[in-house]
Chains A and B, each alone.
Chain A
Amino acid sequence: MYQAIVFLPLLAALVAGLFGRTIGDRGSQLVTTLAVAVACALSWMAFLDVGMGHGDFTKVTLLKWITSGDLTLDWAIRVDTLTVVMLIVVTTVSSLVHLYSWSYMAEDPDKPRFMAYLSLFTFAMLMLVTADNLVQMFFGWEGVGLASYLLIGFWYKKPSANAAAMKAFVVNRVGDFGYSLGIFAIFLVFNSVEFDTIFAAAPGQFGKSFEFLGYQVDVMTTICLLLFVGACGKSAQLGLHTWLPDAMEGPTPVSALIHAATMVTAGVFMLARLSPLFEQAPVALQVVTVVGAATAFFAATIGTTQHDIKRVIAYSTCSQLGYMFFALGVGAYGAAMFHLFTHAFFKALLFLGAGSVIHAMHHEQDMRYYGGLLKHIPITAGVMFVGTLAITGVPLFAGYYSKDAILEAAFASPSPMGTFAFVLGVSAALLTTFYSWRLWFLTFLQKPRWAQSEHIQHAVHGHHHDDHAHDAHAHDAHAGHADAHGHDPHADQAHGDDAHKDHGDGTAGYHPHESPWPMRLPLLLLAIGAFAAGWGFEGQFIGHHMDEFWRTALFVKGENILHLMHEPGRVPGWVPMLINGVMLVGLALAITAYLWKPGIPAAFVRTFPGLHKFLFRKWYFDELYDLLFVKPSLALGRLLWKRGDMQTIDRLGPDGISAVVARTAQGTSRLQTGYLYTYAFVMLIGIAIATSWFLPRLFAQG
């Protein structure tokens, strides 16, 4: 059964990828969607068995992989609660996204390729979560990276998409650099990379030190920090986050599946999986806490200023991942996994909802040109309302249970960084509520502002859906459009004048339509998840049944913080009230700024232009990295090539010699034809010398 879960998507990917033209668009869609749906059904069975029914943890060995010296590696499937939780998250979201793509990609000429990539991604992700050693996990890890690269760059005609795809891969490679050094260090210390072996031996290494880059350092801290660098890359944590917003260049279903619900949570999964290692490295856990909390806050600040609906959600994802990381850092592994679980539903919902809006708005992604969509696409508005309730943590909705648990655990944690995480986490919660409602208000309420959108202009002025390259083309136009107009919302006032004449209501005469059923159904199912995933599973993930649910899949040294925080007096009553309070404050701010007094945002930008620009330019990370790494690498490469290879090595070496030879050989003709004979001659002389050397000895011996 487990083999089927993992390999059905691979099989489907191969069929759709290699024979897509034979089986056609619909065939490819059917094959891939069915395969992943079957994997999904089997995953839920596994979850009910192993997770809810307390079935046995198992390990299925498939094939030997690498055997060299004392290193042995297998292809294997490891099944425990952590695995089955990830299995249902991955396959559920994936099958819904597969279905959603039927309609979303309906105008794209490359449907089989798209479906094949989605299924390939699902396979790699499943290999990652079922791995029983660090190297197989690395296989999945880089495999999802490949799928992400292919899908971000899916519209290959678009230069910005190609650049984003490459950036995602290379930045992730920086993370993988840390991950692989971590693997090497683990093999050096434990002589194995298999989870069971290293978990058993980890306590024995606590407090020991070894040599790393010439320094004596703590074994477990170093190993865990190296692995954490990998997690930071994949999960877009502060410093290695720059690829995630750019990854929004990919089609929206991809953003929902890969860059929100599954792949980016791989880092969280990794740390939870490796809890027996991290628990032996308290300093590393503190670093995880600080980085996670900082990311949660930093990304939320940027989220409040972005105009592109997908970028807002991308920064929101980045921020929510930060929550998961600081939960891990304070030892609340169950809460981190719970938030991963609930977040998968509501974030996939928000992304697919955004996709539905973009679909309705003829590929416009800029929220400045939305507004008043509630009555045109009420279902989308409704499900996104549910998603917003869930992410902001309204009681009864999914995010409430997991986010509160994380913040309370941070508060109750004895970790020296707990308070830091709590303060930043609560601040980020305020910002989260603000930007989430800002998104919803700007999109669905207020007056329509569509007339200024080039995409809508396109749609209204006779561009029909029969253009096959239409999707990529439309995005091209958008990329150019965004560049041209920068971030000033008023720059293109003049442009919309034309439309204003005819339609004073700002609609430019455009009529958005609700998305078709293949898109609507996933939205509705995810909305149910965003509503019910919290109270439905709280008992298992972090509540009374926690210990029987997780068993040995998660390891905590000492008392579990998720138990501790329920002790009387640990978390005073004002803490949950504060958390709920900031949520209301955020909502109030959003209502004030976007419904009650819409002049406030512009006034804010005028009053604090520096701060706004700093946030809008995303804290200048891209500019900084370009200056520090990209430009110097290229300059150094050019220098080494021209000055090093050509002007030094070649000039002193072969060119210098040939110049001398040319002078003595009087002319080049002799040089061109002669050297071969010279070479043969030298070889012959060599053999002659050899002969004359050993022949006398031969006689002497004889």
Chain B
Amino acid sequence: MDNFPILTALILLPLVGAAWILLVPGGTEVARAHNARMTALLTSLLVFALAVVLWLNFDNGNGGFQSIEKHDLFGPYFSYHLGIDGIALVLIALTAFLMPLCVIASWDSIQTRVCEYMAAFLFMEALMIGVFASLDMMLFYIFFEGGLIPMYLIIGIWGGKRRIYASFKFFLYTLLGSVLMLLAMLYMINTAGTTSIPELLAYDFDKDVQTWLWLAFFASFAVKVPMWPVHTWLPDAHVEAPTAGSVVLAGVMLKMGGYGFLRFSLPMFPDASHELAGLVFALSMIAVVYTSLVALVQEDMKKLIAYSSVAHMAFVTAGLFAFNSQGIEGAIFVMLSHGVVSAALFLCVGVVYDRMHTREIAKYGGLVNRMPAYSLVFMVFTMASIGLPGTSGFVGEFLVMVGAYKASTWLVFVIATGVILGAAYMLWLYRKVVFGELTRHDLQSILDLTWKEKVVFAPMLLLVFWMGIYPNSFLDPLRAPVAKLVSQLERAPQQTADAR
């Protein structure tokens, strides 16, 4: 077991599955589609099982990297170097958890180019796991940027009417960020003489340079998170993406930005992080209030949830730059919780979209009359989204605010208003869609959840309550790496003071 390259297996398995789907010979269109669905489901379930094994064998007490695999390719400059700490572990698990649900959710709703669709998802899964498992900067870069390609395809091919505009916008934003990040990476390789992340973590970058490097990485991660004001690609991308695309986008892709901060910005440029924390706080505060207010007036269900995502992710950035364990653990917990809850909310939209082919809020009303099970599920995720204690949404936001309060009372005072506004826009959405008389003629025959939809929601419901009632299962792996990160960050202002 010790020598089994489990991380490689996690990356390779979906690739094999994708290849099998695309290369398997002939048969009718229907047979190939069925084969694609079954292969995708089995592969993603197998990946999830492997991720569970990875978690069970994980040593929570170790703050360093584990399950390391290293094969030199170009000496110190590029190597196949994998390994995880607790932060990467939980994000890999989240990815592996969501993927089978995406496959089931797309089972009936995707009817065109099924093979390519399923292959794109598996390909994307491999790359996303690669992002979290990379310990080589160039490898990280390839996974990080490469992971976007299947997402462009998913939006561009299986998306809605304005899919071209949406994926182009997505592309423009990320392009800007990645160019700057690449330049920064090149500089770092040149200066430190290595692409190994563990070695870069130990390297002390000059303080003045740190600021520039930090800003360059920030350009990329801020777009990914997304932070205000580079968030406008997200609502469009969500609206145009197919349901499962939104699930992955909200569930995993956004978390790559937060992960980037944790892996690069904070530990490698601690002085710059301290210096620029104020900027991050300011943008987070604006994001919470601004996007919550915008969410209040949305007419499209997906847009509303997309704007709420921006507000939630602002809690992540606020928590990360609080530089204490509650703030950072809270931020990671918000990422996990948001990964499940917003994914579930997009699935909830998908359920009615599949039936009515519209996401316009005004086209619904009174669904509870015919869809009691759906209404219950939607209610639970709505409550989780607005951070009701006992659900996953509460724990993360609470920890973030506890931690951030130590950094700045103003910060918490402002972002806590998001908790009020969040209740307002989510309950308004729920009320307009679910409550009331079922008056619209075309809704009279709408059907409640199918068993496939119930299968998708059941594990998510379980997880939302598990994370809310016994969050330590998910906080335990984070403790050691976060403690290490916090001590690195605490040293930084010390050194600054010494230098003076």
List chain A positions with a Cβ less than 8 A from chain B.
Answer: 63-71, 75, 135, 138-139, 142-143, 146, 149, 153, 156-157, 159, 162-163, 165-166, 169-170, 173-174, 176-177, 180-181, 183-185, 187-188, 211-214, 633-634, 636-638, 640-641, 644-645, 649-650, 653-654, 657-658, 671-672, 675-676, 679-680, 682-683, 686-687, 689-690, 693-695, 697-698, 701-702
Contacts and interface: CB of A to CB of B under 8 A. Distances in A.
B475 A177 contact: no
B436 A649 contact: no
Contact of B405 (A185, A633, A645): A185
Contacts of B171: 675-676, 679
Given A139-B390, A169-B427, A672-B164, A214 B410 contact: yes
A95 to B, nearest CB: 24
Nearest to A694: B77
B423 A169 contact: yes
Of the listed residues B175, B325, B435, the one surrounded by the most CB atoms of chain A closer than 10 A to its CB is B435
Q: Considering the complex of A and B, which 5 residue pairs feature the smallest CB-CB distances, nearest first?
A: A69-B325, A637-B293, A139-B389, A184-B405, A694-B77
Give chain A's interface secondary structure class: helix
B472 A676 contact: no
A694 B293 CA distance: 48
Interface stretch (B7-15, B116-124, B213-221, B411-419): B411-419
Nearest to A641: B294
Given A68-B330, A156-B368, A184-B405, 4 more contacts: A71-B399, A654-B173, A682-B178, A702-B75
Contact of B294 (A163, A176, A640, A650): A640
25 contacts: A65-B471, A66-B398, A68-B330, A146-B383, A146-B388, A157-B366, A159-B436, A162-B431, A170-B420, A173-B420, A177-B417, A180-B398, A180-B416, A181-B412, A187-B402, A213-B409, A213-B410, A633-B424, A637-B297, A654-B172, A676-B149, A687-B138, A689-B182, A697-B190, A698-B74
A174 B419 CA distance: 9
- Report whether over half of chain B's contact residues are helix, strand or loop; otherwise say mixed: helix
Contacts of B152: 676, 679
A144 to B, nearest CB: 11
B431 A166 contact: yes
A166 B431 CA distance: 8
Contacts of B399: 66, 68, 71
B212 interface: no
Contacts of A165: 431
Nearest to B432: A162
Contacts of A641: 294, 297-298
B436 A657 contact: no
Nearest to A69: B325
Interface string B141-184: 11001101100110010000000100011011101001100100
A650 B173 CA distance: 11
B168 A675 contact: yes
A63 B413 CA distance: 31
B87 to A, nearest CB: 14
A153 B179 contact: no
Nearest to A71: B326
B406 interface: yes
B329 A69 contact: yes
Given A211-B409, A694-B77, A138 B297 contact: no
Q: How large is the interface on B (under 10, 10 to 19, 20 to 34, 35 or more residues)?
A: 35 or more
A68 B186 contact: no
Contacts of B420: 170, 173-174, 177
A162 B401 contact: no
Nearest to A683: B145
A57 B416 CA distance: 36
B106 interface: no
B233 to A, nearest CB: 7
Nearest to B427: A166
A683 B76 CA distance: 21
Interface centre among B76, B156, B398 (most CB of A within 10 A): B398
B163 to A, nearest CB: 10
A67 B475 contact: yes
Given A184-B401, A640-B294, A676 B156 contact: yes
B472 A64 contact: yes
Nearest to B156: A676
B410 A654 contact: no
A654 B232 contact: yes
A649 to B, nearest CB: 5
Contacts of B172: 653-654, 657-658
A170 B423 contact: yes
Nearest to B153: A676
Q: Max chain B CB contacts within 10 Å: which of A676, A690, A701?
A: A690
Contact of B232 (A185, A649, A697): A649
Interface string B177-201: 0110010011001100100000000
**Max chain A Cβ within 10 angstroms of own Cβ: one of B409, B410, B413:** B409
B389 A138 contact: yes
B389 A654 contact: no
B489 to A, nearest CB: 13
B406 A68 contact: no
A653 B232 contact: yes
Contacts of B421: 633
Contacts of B431: 153, 162-163, 165-166
Contact of A173 (B295, B368, B423, B479): B423
A69 B326 contact: yes
A183 B405 CA distance: 10
Nearest to A653: B232
A187 B138 CA distance: 42
B419 A64 contact: no
Contacts of A149: 427
Interface in B460-488: 469-472, 475, 479
A641 B298 CA distance: 9
A650 B232 contact: yes
Contacts of B168: 654, 658, 671, 675
Given A166-B431, A177-B417, A641-B297, A156 B142 contact: no
A180 B294 contact: no
Contact of B77 (A156, A184, A698): A698
A697 B193 contact: yes
B205 interface: no
Given A658-B168, A671-B168, A162 B436 contact: yes
A96 to B, nearest CB: 27
Contacts of A185: 405
A637 B326 CA distance: 31
Contact of A654 (B233, B326, B406, B472): B233
Contacts of B298: 641
Given A65-B470, A135-B389, A184-B401, A698 B297 contact: no
B290 A71 contact: no
Contact of A644 (B233, B290, B326, B470): B290
B296 interface: yes
B412 A634 contact: no
A680 B171 CA distance: 11
A690 B138 contact: yes
Contacts of B427: 149, 166, 169-170
Contacts of A679: 148-149, 152, 171, 175
Nearest to A671: B168
A657 B233 CA distance: 14
B395 interface: yes
A69 B323 CA distance: 12
Q: Which of B173, B297, B428, B472 has the most CB of A within 10 A?
A: B297
